[in-house]
Amino acid sequence: MFLRIENQNHLGKNRRVAGEAATQSGARWERWFVLSVAGLLLVVPPIVRELYPFSLPSMFSRAIDRLAVYKARDPRGAPVPLERLRLHVPEWHDPPVRTLGRAGYGRRKPASAHVLGEVASAAEVERAVRWALRRDPSLPPAVTVTQTVLGRGEHGALAVLSRAEWTIAR
């Protein structure tokens, strides 16, 4: 009987020693992993200058000064979808990123004249709409595009900074 208890105690000690060695090895690996991730977070962003989500964690990290709002109507006054005219905002939550030669986070430049936070010129709007009108026969032969630019007015309040209207035909 004593032998059995002694043997069991002896096995328990061996298990405890093996477990402690495994814990020390796991703790060492965990410590190495945490230190290497912390090192990467300190070294990589200054080198790359943009590493989403570490450098741009929120969608409002770059404030928008001006916002262009577009409306398109056919000759009868009916609204025309902006997506079909290439005047839509492709991703509202994606502020444009100008580093590493990209537009957006890992996406190609959108097929739209409208980029969030930027105001397209009359030539850019006409080029995009005319291209869409020529490619899509289901669109009307001419559309009237209204561009309203919103931004900070007097005392920081939201105001209409400018409004332009163009009639664009195929």
- Please give the residue range of the domain that contains residue 134: 66-169
Residues in the chain, overall count: 170
pLDDT tens digits along 40-95: 888 876 676 655 555 555 555 556 788 899 999 999 999 999 988 988 876 655 55
In this predicted model, what pLDDT tens digit does every residue of 112-134 receive, in sequence order?
Answer: 787 777 888 999 999 999 999 99
> CA-CA distance, 94 to 91, in Å (whole number)?
5
Flag whether 55 is in a domain: no
In a domain, residue 56? The reply is: no
**Site of tokens 């936070």:** 117
Structural domain includes residue 10 = yes
- Domain-located, residue 57: no
| Shared domain check, 89 and 19 | no
Task: Verify that 72 and 124 share a domain, yes or no.
Answer: yes
Residue 118 is assigned to a structural domain of this protein: yes
Q: What's the mean pLDDT when you consider all of the chain?
A: 77
pLDDT score for 139: 93
Give this prediction's pTM.
0.56
- Domain check: are 95 and 154 in the same one? yes
Same domain as 79, residue 148? yes
Whether 81 and 147 share a structural domain:
yes
Reported as a single tens digit per residue, the pLDDT across 4-43 is: 555 555 555 555 555 565 667 778 889 999 999 999 888 8
Residues 86 and 26 placed together within one structural domain of the fold: no
Q: Is residue 92 located within the same domain as residue 126?
A: yes
Q: Report, in this order, helix, strand and coil percent for the chain, each rounded to 5.
A: 40, 20, 40
Sign (positive or negative) of CA dihedral 85, 87, 92, 98: positive
Residue 50 confidence (pLDDT): 59
CB 111 within 8 A of CB 86: yes
For residues 71 and 118, state if they share a domain: yes
- Judgement on whether residues 92 and 148 belong to the same structural domain of the protein: yes
Residues 92 and 32 in one domain: no
Q: What is the pLDDT of residue 101?
A: 47
Tell whether 71 and 103 lie within a shared domain: yes
- Where does the chain have alpha helices with state H? 2-48, 82-85, 122-135
Evaluate whether residue 91 is within a structural domain: yes
**What order of strands is seen across the sheet that includes strand 142-152?**
66-73, 142-152, 158-169
Q: Answer for the pair 160, 119: CB distance below 8 angstroms, yes or no.
A: no
**86 shares its domain with 22:** no
Per the domain annotation, does 53 fall within a domain?
A: no
Closest by Cα among 159, 136, 141 to 69: 159
Question: How many domains are there within the chain?
Answer: 2
